[in-house]
Structure 1
């Protein structure tokens, strides 16, 4: 009787294994964010196809004090794309094929992973595919990296319902618990992450009422942030405060932020009267039902070092903004 029971269990197990879907077990992807593995023949990488790819992948990130490319790129020929490299987080495969195509696949050899494959029937057709899909090429990898950063840094975040300003104003973002509170007075939120020495990353959120068409069209963004800096972000000497860098106009892009009209602003900040400066990124969201602009901004102060990855982390945090 005991043997019969064991046999029935074995049969049931085999039946369930055969009838159920087979779930593929993937290893964890490796590689840093903003890094990209390009799989392409050496001759093609060193020729016109490689030139076109470098033009796109090496384009400087907008708003940084020093030029920094969007991606750190590594290249290998297809015959070297074995198990050692297949676990890479972001992979771009390019080469001659039977059709002209641009395809994106997710979690092929590892997870999380994005693989974009570009093929063409000739070098000219490959270049045409690259040019035609350049924006999507960048956004696929960038969006995947943003999700990866959010997953890493937001394992623990401050409870938005415990932040006074968020509860009062009816909006919130997820701020990692590695950031410490500087201000939360019901009108503004200010959190800081300490880097080396006196260097830091800062997160601000606040709202302002909509008073004109210029507010709706993004024409007052610099004025609004300068007024905020004067009121809330003093410098080290009397009368000094944070402003938008006066020498250069920031880059302002109209975007769709979770189905709301918004403006993404990238530029440089400085402290008036003090030798301090760095990059900033802000999202100004038009909240028409409440007749206001909801502003989430982050900046970095880290002189002498590259800041692309710092600002990328700030972008990941700011994009968790939710308006009730």
Structure 2
């Protein structure tokens, strides 16, 4: 009986400790779109490191300045101590008896994503990395989007106050420092003034509207024309008679197909400018095919932040756009 009681208490303590370990995970640290790579300096300075830097450092489409999709830094395995282990995005590279690739979440902190890439030698590791490169990059980006959305949920704007949102039957999660510029019932324009550094003269902007779904096969090719019409109608420059927002004519936007809220969607990244003026910047447009209501719901974000990098601002707009739900 005594032995059984001891075993029961021991088991209870172990279960309690396990639960406590999960509960007391530290908050992860690090900027969004940044990855800490744990590998030997010799590998990082060689072909393997170049392969990783070139892949993660691919230029993000649509930005006026060249900025990478993901920023990377490196640390040797013997330097990967407790301080480094709370980094949010980590990739661990090493040699083993076989090729392996897997992802773990919330190992040392939360939210956290750790990608493990193993091979029998440098060429083998590079092979595994290249086979899973897109999956790896998507995992980091998706994780950072979810984290950003959770932050915005804590200070969420009440989007139901806007007539356009109610009429379109949508919801989205944006922080409450966005203010209304225009809300016609058919078109919504929200603006957030940027407060840091030189960008304090700039703004992040959200546009929401819909257009009839006439031919699904032509939605993608009509995105530029639609946004130019919206710009002319709703987004004037300093001289309302001669100036309005257009898609930059010297730069061809890049459109890709994806799924948003379970619906076929076209994501377009490009640059906007004000006709007959010098204002310009990047935009991110999501045109969602809503067959149920025979329409295309458009959620667009654009940034005006002269003289500073804009990847972080566009990423926040991406996180907001991808939170959209259509009722």
> What's the TM-score, normalizing by structure 2?
0.91
CA distance in 1, matches of 2:166, 2:278: 36
- For 1:297 and 1:148, the matched residues in 2 are separated by 21
User: Which residues of 2 match residues 253-292 of structure 1 at below 5 A?
Assistant: 253-292=256-295
| Distance change (3 Å), C-alpha of 1:19 and 1:46 | closer
- The question of 1:117 aligning with 2:116 is answered yes
Q: Which residue of 2 aligns with 1:75?
A: 74
Give the alignment of 1:221-300 within 5 angstroms: 221-237=223-239, 238-300=241-303
Q: Does residue 199 of the first structure (1) align with residue 202 of the second (2)?
A: yes
2:320 equivalent to 1:317: yes
CA RMSD, aligned part only?
1.8
Q: Deviations over 1:33-75 (max 9, x none)?
A: 1111110001111111111101111111111011101222111
Structure 2 alignment gaps of length 5 or more: 1-7
Segments of 5+ residues of structure 1 without an aligned counterpart are: 1-11
Whole-angstrom distance in 2 between the partners of 1:19 and 1:287? 48
Q: Deviations over 1:195-225 (max 9, x none)?
A: 2443111001000001234544x11000000
Whose helix fraction is larger, Structure 1's or Structure 2's?
2
Cα deviation, residue 153, structure 1: 2.6
The yes-or-no answer on 1:190 pairing with 2:189 is yes
Contact 1:210–1:292 (CA<8 Å) still a contact in 2? yes
Deviation of residue 172 (structure 1)?
Answer: 2.3
Question: Residue 158 of structure 2 contacts residue 176 of structure 2 at CA under 8 Å; is this kept in 1?
Answer: no
Q: Does the Cα contact within 8 Å between 1:35 and 1:73 map onto a contact in 2?
A: yes
Query: Is structure 2 residue 117 aligned with structure 1 residue 126?
Result: no
Aligned residues: 313
Distance 1:215 1:189 in 2: 24
Measured in 1, the distance between the counterparts of 2:291 and 2:121 equals 51
* Conserved 8 A contact 2:152-2:173: no
Q: TM-score if structure 1 supplies the norm length?
A: 0.92
User: How far off is 1:160 after superposition?
Assistant: 2.9
